[in-house]
Amino acid sequence: MTADHDPTARPVLVLDFGAQYVQLIARRVRERLAFARIVRHDITAERVRQLNPLGIILSGGPASVYDAGAPRCDPGIFDLDVPVLGICYGMQLACQAMGVAVEPAPAREFGRAELRVVDHGAPLFLGVPERSQVWMSHGDQIPDAGPDFMPLAATHTCPVAAVRHRTRPIYGLQFHPEVSHTPHGTTILGNFLDRICGNPGDWTIGAFLERAVASIESRVKPGERVVCGLSGGVDSAVCAALLARAVGERVVCVFVDTGLLRLGERESVVRAFGGRHGLELRVVDAEDQFLDALAGVLDPQEKRRRIGRVFIEAFREEARSIPAAHYLAQGTLYPDVIESGGAPDGPTANIKLHHNVGGLPSELGFELIEPLRDLFKDEVRGLGLELGLPESLVWRHPFPGPGLAVRCLGEVTRDRLEILRKADAIFLEELAAAGLERQTAQAFAVLLPVRSVGVMGDGRTYDNVIAIRAVETDDYMTADWSRLPHDLLARVSTRITNSVKGVNRVVYDITSKPPGTIEWE
């Protein structure tokens, strides 16, 4: 797939005014089987016309329309006869562009409010009860819809909480339909997409798969081969299976065994890919190189740097030995593309750049293939299932690139890794047995660099401490610790202290992010 997006699906453009919720809006649109694309707020009306969208959504944002330098959109987009839905700041901007006054609200409204629908025939509110809960977060508001707009709904403090233009397909919502605190929000967004934009609902995973396969087939010429790094995680696995579907035996997967993997991880990758899907799997045994490079290193950032360097060396050496290798496939996802500023017409990079962005350096000399760059994580999982990957792989929790090294606090040695690996496996096994694996976004054990006094049998022990951590999150930017049942924690603790030699104490991490991070290093 080339750097540009799927040209065959008509997009719904989500103009980004800096909203915290912009990706959530796009995901909600995708749930209605429409191809949401997040674009810069100042995209020109001409470019919008070229993209031939089904509809346009103006996101919320932190600014006030009165701020100097407040982000605006090209007013020409209101003349394109394409349906527009403004959300919060987006509604104020659309109304202001149409000559309606926006004013500071008497009191800033933040949190739950009761919405009262005043125009019961409005297509936007079909199926929404007369009174329902919505989520508000605004300082400005529209006191009077004026002659060109019709008010559709109100709250106690906000007289115009939803509007539509009388003659143009322009709509506005002062509240946030995309968040779960607005229980009928998906109905309202669905009405906008299906009834107002005429959404054909053709952005399905099956259709995506067909188009992606066709695109890869036409790009990779006979005789050329594609190298695909497998990490054991969902994204690279789905990427590999997709490539295999498209170009079969011309895909060579490289899996680097760093010696920093979870228990049974290498075996599960070999089981899922070795000899299946028609692709060739090469496993690089690099444990010694990694452990040598980490010997005596305590600093977390230094561990990461060394692991990154050794990984590139090991990968490069293997890739060089693959004849006719022309392409490198990576499982980059849409949020990474958006956040790194790499999306065509997309917003410029923001502060959310984080570890998972990047990957192998460009000087490896391959052309990149990134077939998942239009997809969110849940869509990648759907694609994995469509491609026949096992559920255990598709629902795997994310695992950091540096692996167990950043969970083995202090020095990384074979013996310490062994302790950690066993404790981690017990925790994950018990979590799965309790049916709680999918409720947690990430769960793992950490080996602490301290020892504690204990008593076992008749003797005093002075042994290692294992911390266990489980978190719930949608975006990994913020997270809450999981309220796991006490009897589950008790089983985990008993099993670890009884069967992992060298551990006499287990503690549970009850820190949210912020102030903690998900990983300990």
Q: Which residues bind ligand XMP (CB under 6 A)?
A: 304, 355-356, 398, 400-402, 442, 476, 513, 517-519
In which element (H, E) is residue 308 found?
Answer: helix 300-320
CB of 178 to ligand XMP, least distance (A): 23
Instruction: Indicate the residue among 168 and 304 with the shorter CB distance to ligand XMP.
Output: 304
CB of 520 to ligand XMP, least distance (A): 8
- Token pair for residue 521? 């290093």
Catalytic residues: 88, 176, 178
Taking the chain, what is the end-to-end CA distance rounded to the nearest angstrom? 36
Instruction: Indicate the residue among 344 and 449 with the shorter CB distance to ligand XMP.
Output: 449
Judge residue 450's burial from the number of C-beta atoms within 10 Å of its C-beta, 0-12 exposed, 13-18 middle, 19 or more buried.
exposed
Instruction: Indicate the residue among 125 and 476 with the shorter CB distance to ligand XMP.
Output: 476
- Token pair for residue 300? 């977390």
* 299 contact partners, CB below 8 Å, separation of at least 6: none
CB of 247 to ligand XMP, least distance (A): 27
CB of 521 to ligand XMP, least distance (A): 8
Dist CA 184 CA 113 (whole Å): 13
Dist CA 192 CA 4 (whole Å): 26
CB of 480 to ligand XMP, least distance (A): 12
Instruction: Indicate the residue among 450 and 477 with the shorter CB distance to ligand XMP.
Output: 477
Instruction: Indicate the residue among 353 and 490 with the shorter CB distance to ligand XMP.
Output: 353
CB of 225 to ligand XMP, least distance (A): 26
Instruction: Indicate the residue among 132 and 356 with the shorter CB distance to ligand XMP.
Output: 356
**Closest listed residue to residue 230, CA positions, set 262, 265, 260:** 265
- Token pair for residue 318? 């293997």
Is residue 152 a contact partner of residue 163, using CB atoms and an 8 Å limit? Answer: yes
Dist CA 370 CA 330 (whole Å): 5
| Dihedral angle of Cα 124, 125, 128, 133, to the nearest 10 degrees | 90
Is residue 21 a contact partner of residue 65, using CB atoms and an 8 Å limit? Answer: no
